[in-house]
Structures are given as structure tokens and as C-alpha cells.
Amino acid sequence: MEPKNVLKNLQANNNFEVLVIGAGAAGLGAAKYLKKAGIKAKILEARDRIGGRVHAVPFGSDSKLIDLGGQWIHGLGPSAGDLKDWQGKLNPIYQIAVDNNIQTVKAWHLQSRIQKNFWYKGGEIPHDIWGILEQVEDYLEEHNEEADESETIDQFVKRKFNYEKGSEEEMILDWILIYRFGQDYGANPKNQSARYQEEDIIFDGTEDLIPESMLSILNIVAEGLDIMFNQQVTEINYERDQVVVKTKEGIEYFAQKVIVCVPLSILKAKDIQFKPVLPEEKQNSIQSMGVAQMDKLILEFDKVFWDEETDWFNYIAERNGDWCQTLNIYKYFQRPILMMFNAEPNTHNFEDMTDEEVLASGMKVIRDMFPNATEPINYLRTNWNKEEFSKGTFSYIAANSKPEYCEVITRNIDSKIWFAGEYGYFDFIGTVNAALISGENSAKEIVIQYNKKTEEICQHFYENDMFL
């Protein structure tokens, strides 16, 4: 074939109605929605796997899957607070589990988790930290509207709770801020907005874990979709009618419409060049929102030496929130596994450490809490910040940012480019369900543009929870 014809052929084969960039929950949700509406979509994924920040690998003596990223269904539903759109509906992640007979295990219902608090001096902490925690929570809930847009949670709380520098009270307050706001949002309380903290909500009902892993849910969403792996997109050109998407290998794909479902951190890092550049308002919103960091150290032991019924073992370190929380996996899955967590800023202390150093640090804490601890027989650590295609864990509203920015980022440009991801649905920001819904919402807009009639069909699917 002549070179000119080869090019033509390649172009014809690389022509799509819709291209979706990224095969995480958002990209898969978008592509599935389009497929159901009869629109041909192809997903270009940089990695050699689906799931993105939902990732599970075989671990431990039984080689069963363990979640390295997203794992909880944050509220099964039905309903989500007073959000009208979700009244009487289940969390879409749970809906998929129900429809496909995937077992879930109750972890806890809101504040009902069983916790024990240890500290670096050994044994359980002698202070009533829950009393101080409640005061801090009440204060923030009642007064957050008085906070300046630029004020962080740390600054706002410390204006009120002004403990002496270096005192034990100050250390406990720092721990509380990391435990309560750092761990929940994975983000440093010194960066999180005080004004908009906790304006997001979760679904009602219990928070469940999935023995077969969160990935089992996304595997179902991915069924039947057209996904190309190892396709790192580096450029999206939307100057003309047809959008041209270029990969690192120089391959060009052409589409009428593109849904960009890469993490916010990838947009922040400008790993994809947009031509023309993105509108200023969108760029400012992207840069202004925060991306959290959270990592796990997963330890398997030959036997359980901890209290089988406790959900969380909390640890108050001497100088910071290192290894603030440890989850008792045995309670839910009957596997002798502890899952330790670090959130920002503490994750940064570990990013450049070797696996052995991370293990040694985690095990020191385990021994402080449980002097009779044995050596782990298997372990695994995550380093999400260093993953080229994640660069972090999930988004949050940073100081000087606001919830409206989530909508600004996802807003389509010239009905050619859409954006979706866990940041794209503020009400459930940071979750797998937010990503899935955000992807579906972008797809829905495209379906509406293509054909009004299809919209009615989609609406029917949507209202009857028949989509996935």
C-alpha cells in the first residue's frame, strides 16, 4: 500500500464518535452510558489495566484480592442526605453490587465504628480525645461560615483552641485535626478550606467493604467496552470540527467528541497539552482545587494478636500523625491482615523511603500498640503520589477554592470536550461513586446532543436504575 493510503486507512480506523480518555470509574461509567445509548465510544487508557485509583492485587497466603486504592462504598443508600436526585435511590456502586450478586460486608454506620486509641508512650492514651474532637467538630459545623475563603481548617480551629506551643494538648489537637480531617479527606488540614469543609455528603446507610474488592464492581462496568491500553494521551487538539487526540507514541485518533477522564492531578501537571489552551476560568479552577495524598501499608500475620472486634486502632505519634489509623481487616474478611494508613502531610515522609524502611516504621507503631506483635509474613505498600498516572489520591476543596469549581472544570468546551472524574460531582467528591456519576453525566449530555429521543430512553434507564 502506498504511504498516503496507509495514512488514510489508519485515519479511517482511528475515527470515532466519542473518545474517552482514561479507564477509571469515570471513564468506564461514561463509555458504558454511551454504549447503552448506541453511541460508539473508545477508551484510551495509559496503563495496561482498568480501574485507575481502584486497584486490587492478590495478596497474602490465600492470594485473595486486596484493595490498594478505593475500597469502601461510602453509604449504601437509599438516599443521600437531602439530595433530591438521590431520594429513594441506592449508591450506584452498591446498586451494581446488588444487581450482580456481589457480596458486601458492613463496616460501620456513620459514627458507630469501634475504635481504640494508643499512643507513642505505649498503651492506650489516658486523655479523653473524643471530648476535644466533639468540641472541634461542633465549632467547625456552627462557625465555618465565619471563616475567610483563604483560611485553612488548621488556622480556623487554632484561632479558637489556642493551646500552649509544645504542650500535650496542642499535640492532641494536631492529631485530632489529622485524624478527623486529614484521614477523611486524605489532605493536610493546613491546606483544606475551613469555609467549605464537610459541605459534601455521603449516601445514607452503612459503609460497606467488598470481599472480592472494589475492582470487581468496575470489572462489571467495563464488560463489553472498547478499551485500548498503553495509550498515554499527550495532546488534545480541538481547533477544528474534529478533535485530534495524540498519544506519546505519536498515534493520532479522531473524534467528534472527547470526554477527558484523567485525574485532576494530571490536569494540574499539564501532562496533556490542549490546543487551544483551556479557558482561563477552567485552568484557575483546576489549579485552585487540592489533590490529597493517602497511602496504605498492608501487613499479613500468621495469627491475630489484636482485638478481633475493633474496627480501627488509632495511634498518636509523638510529633506528627504518622500511621494515624490502622484498620482491622480480620473483622470483615477473617484474614489476619492489618491495613495501616498515612494521609497528608505524613505521606510525604514516606514517598522516598524503600519498602523495607516503610515496613520498619509501620512495625514500630504496631509494636507500640501491641507489644506481643509477631513479624509480618507478607506486606505491601502503596505510593500513589509517585504513580505517573495518578499523582495522588482524590480531590478536596483547598483554601481559596470553592465547590463551584468542580462544575467549572467539568463544563464542556464548544460541545467538543468534556471533563469527568471524582472531582466532578462535588456532593460526593473524592469517591468512586462521584467518578462514576460524573462520567455518566458527561455521557448523558452527549447523548442529549446527538439525539433527543435517545435522551428519553436514557432517562427511562436512569430513573429505573437499569443503566449498568
- Amino acid (1-letter code) at residue 308: E
Residue 21 within binding range of ligand FAD, rule CB under 6 A = yes
Place of cell 462535588: 426
Rounded to 5°, angle at Cα 309 from 306 and 314:
60
In a 3-state reduction of DSSP, which class is residue 257?
strand
- Tell me: does residue 431 bind ligand FAD (CB under 6 A): yes
Site string for ligand FAD, 105-144 (x = CB under 6 A): ----------------------------------------
Q: Which residues are annotated as a binding site for FAD?
A: 45-46, 233
> Where on the phi/psi map is residue 152: left (φ > 0), alpha (ψ -120 to 50), or beta?
beta
Binding residues: 45-46, 233
Q: State which residue, 20 or 317, has the beta carbon closest to ligand FAD.
A: 20
Q: Does residue 440 interact with ligand FAD by CB under 6 A?
A: no
Give the cell for residue 416. 467538543
Question: Can residue 22 be called a binding residue for ligand FAD (CB under 6 A)?
Answer: yes
Smallest CA-to-CA distance from 303 within 356, 369, 367, 372 is with 372
The reply to whether 435 sits near ligand FAD by the rule CB under 6 A is yes
Residue 272 contacts ligand FAD per CB under 6 A: yes
C-alpha cell at 325: 489509623
CA separation, residue 175 to residues 22, 291, 340, 374 (Å) = 36, 21, 16, 27
Residues in the interface with ligand FAD (CB under 6 A) total: 41
* Stretch near ligand FAD under the rule CB under 6 A, chosen from 39-47, 132-140, 299-307, 351-359: 39-47
Q: Is 432 in the site for ligand FAD (CB under 6 A)?
A: yes
Q: What residues between 366 and 405 interact with ligand FAD by CB under 6 A?
A: 384, 389-390, 393-394
Report if residue 189 touches ligand FAD, rule: CB under 6 A.
Answer: no
What does the buried/exposed string (b/e) look like for 198-230 if buried means 16 or more CB atoms within 10 Å of the residue's CB?
Answer: bebbbbbbbbbbbebbbbbbbbbbbeebebeee
b/e string for 389-423 if b means 16 or more Cβ within 10 A? bbbbbbbbbbbbbbbebbebbbbbeeebbbbbbbb
Cβ distance to ligand FAD smaller for residue 258 or 261: 261
Pick the binder of ligand FAD from 25, 140, 244, 437 (CB under 6 A). Answer: 25
Instruction: Locate 202 and state its grid cell.
Output: 455521603
44 binds ligand FAD (CB under 6 A): yes
Q: Does 47 bind ligand FAD (CB under 6 A)?
A: yes
Q: What is the DSSP string of 3-17?
A: HHHHHHHHHHHTEEE
Residue whose Cβ sits closest to ligand FAD = 24
Based on the shown chain and the rule CB under 6 A, indicate whether residue 294 belongs to the binding site for ligand FAD.
yes
Candidates 15, 79, 115, 232: give the one binding ligand FAD (CB under 6 A).
232
Minimum gap (Å) between residue 416 Cβ and ligand FAD: 18
**Is residue 16 a contact point for ligand FAD (CB under 6 A)?**
no
Amino acid symbol at 237: N
| Residues binding ligand FAD (CB under 6 A) | 21-27, 44-47, 52-54, 69-72, 74, 232-233, 261-263, 266, 271-272, 294, 296, 384, 389-390, 393-394, 421-422, 430-433, 435
